[in-house]
Amino acid sequence: MRPRTAVIPVAGLGTRFLPATKAMPKEMLTVVDKPLVQYAVEEAFAAGIERIVFVTGRGKEMLADHFDYTPELEETLRGRNRLDPLQQVRGLVPTAGCLIYTRQNEPLGLGHAIWCARHLVGDAPFAILLPDDLVWSGPEHAPVMQQMCDQFESLQQPMVAIMEVEQQETNKYGILDPLEGSGGNAVLVQAKGLVEKPAPQVAPSRMAIIGRYILHPDIFSLLGKRQTGAGGEIQLTDAMAMMMQKHPIYGFRFQGTRYDCGDKVGFQMANLALALEQAEMRSRLLPFLNTQLGQWSVHSTAS
Ligand code: G1P
């Protein structure tokens, strides 16, 4: 059985990107030519997900508009015979009924946002994608959620995408404590524990949870206990740690590069890396970058 529903939480305020996100959802920030949320939606559908539950908040209406028809724009493009962009904007609209919206009325944390989707997910395994984490898998690998769904088909146990981070960065992530003998370089790492944002001195490993999950619906009753954790928020990681009494949880080492688009530098890196993937942009960007690098290395030598 593969997950058929994905939850994409999009209620965050995006304070790290102010003033850009004052009136615009942070998930609409553009990487090259697509908003972040579109990368997550395309990844979910590519994995065979059939419906997506967005957990939104006030001021996020633009997200729903992005995935809806735009009759005036389409009419204009058709009139000008601009068929490629016309196809692009029409291709953005999934079959009616496949996108579902609910609101997280209070900012109580990621765990609470996921809990808000409980009635819409129902009683089956489901996926979660955090759009801030953009994972580029390149042409040689399947998108991460597809990689995970393929694993899930045989494993049938909850799993989270993981990657190694620097020791001093553990306090930015959920960290997986591997079961003895389960770490190494294995693709699947069974967890003995999960800790949200541990300080580097006490982190059980450097295996960080990245924003891709496949979970059983049992998680909802645990999230419903509303226990707060790191930062005083209801944490998904804490509920998963509780869930381990019932189901083993696995970390999945995915193929691809993850960009932290919730951070200004990570966001710039994503833009640059994805632009360089396109031959036409690459041929114009590389000379520019070479010039910039020359200038900045002169500056840094001077300082
Ligand atoms: C959230 C999760 C954290 C995870 C991270 C991945 O944290 O709580 O466990 O490692 O996403 O991006 P946030 O980045 O929302 O603080």
Q: In what helix (H) or strand (E) does residue 6 lie, and over which residues does it extend?
A: strand 5-9
Give the C-alpha distances (Å, rounded to integers) separating 221 from 1, 74, 120, 154.
22, 44, 14, 25
d(CA 161, CA 209): 6
Do 286 and 237 sit in the same domain of this protein? no
β-pairing, 159-164 with 250-253?
A: parallel
- In total, how many domains does the chain have? 2
Choice from 110, 165, 166, 176 to test ligand 1 binding pocket (greatest atom count within 8 A of CB): 110
Which atom of ligand 1 has the smallest separation from the CA of 236? Answer: 8
How far does the centroid of ligand 1 lie from the alpha carbon of residue 132, in Å? 9
Beta strands in 47-158 (DSSP E): 51-56, 99-103, 126-129, 133-136
Tokens representing 261? 């688009």
User: What tens digit of pLDDT does each residue of 132-175 get?
Assistant: 999 999 889 999 999 999 999 999 999 999 999 999 999 999 99
**Mean pLDDT of the region 51-71:** 93
Q: What is the pLDDT of residue 186?
A: 86
In a domain, 193, yes or no: no
Q: What is the pLDDT of residue 91?
A: 86
Q: Is the CB of 28 under 6 A from ligand 1?
A: no
Bridge partners (DSSP) listed for residue 213: 128, 160
CATH of residue 21: 3.90.550.10
Identify the CA nearest to 37 among candidates 59, 7, 17. Answer: 7
Do 234 and 158 sit in the same domain of this protein? yes
Which residue type sits at 161?
A
Query: Can you say how many angstroms the Cα of residue 74 is from the centroid of all Cα atoms in its chain?
Result: 30
Percentage of the chain with pLDDT > 70?
97
pLDDT reading at 227 higher than 60: yes
Which atom of ligand 1 has the smallest separation from the CA of 12? Answer: 15
Do 303 and 232 sit in the same domain of this protein? no
Do 115 and 140 sit in the same domain of this protein? yes
In a domain, 120, yes or no: yes
Q: What is the pLDDT of residue 303?
A: 57
d(CA 35, CA 25): 10
In a domain, 248, yes or no: yes
**Mean pLDDT of the region 49-54:** 97
Tokens representing 171? 């306090």
pLDDT reading at 1 higher than 90: no
Do 13 and 147 sit in the same domain of this protein? yes
Which atom of ligand 1 has the smallest separation from the CA of 209? Answer: 10
User: What tens digit of pLDDT does each residue of 100-136 get?
Assistant: 999 999 999 999 999 999 999 989 999 999 999 999 9
**Mean pLDDT of the region 275-287:** 96
Domain span at residue 74 reads 5-164+207-261
User: What tens digit of pLDDT does each residue of 197-211 get?
Assistant: 999 999 999 999 999
How far does the centroid of ligand 1 lie from the alpha carbon of residue 133, in Å? 9
**Mean pLDDT of the region 48-54:** 97
In a domain, 10, yes or no: yes
In a domain, 58, yes or no: yes
CB 48 within 8 A of CB 2: yes
For the full predicted model, state whether its pTM sits above 0.75: yes
- Look at ligand 1, atom 7, and give the residue with the nearest C-alpha: 173
Do 158 and 88 sit in the same domain of this protein? yes
Q: What is the pLDDT of residue 183?
A: 65
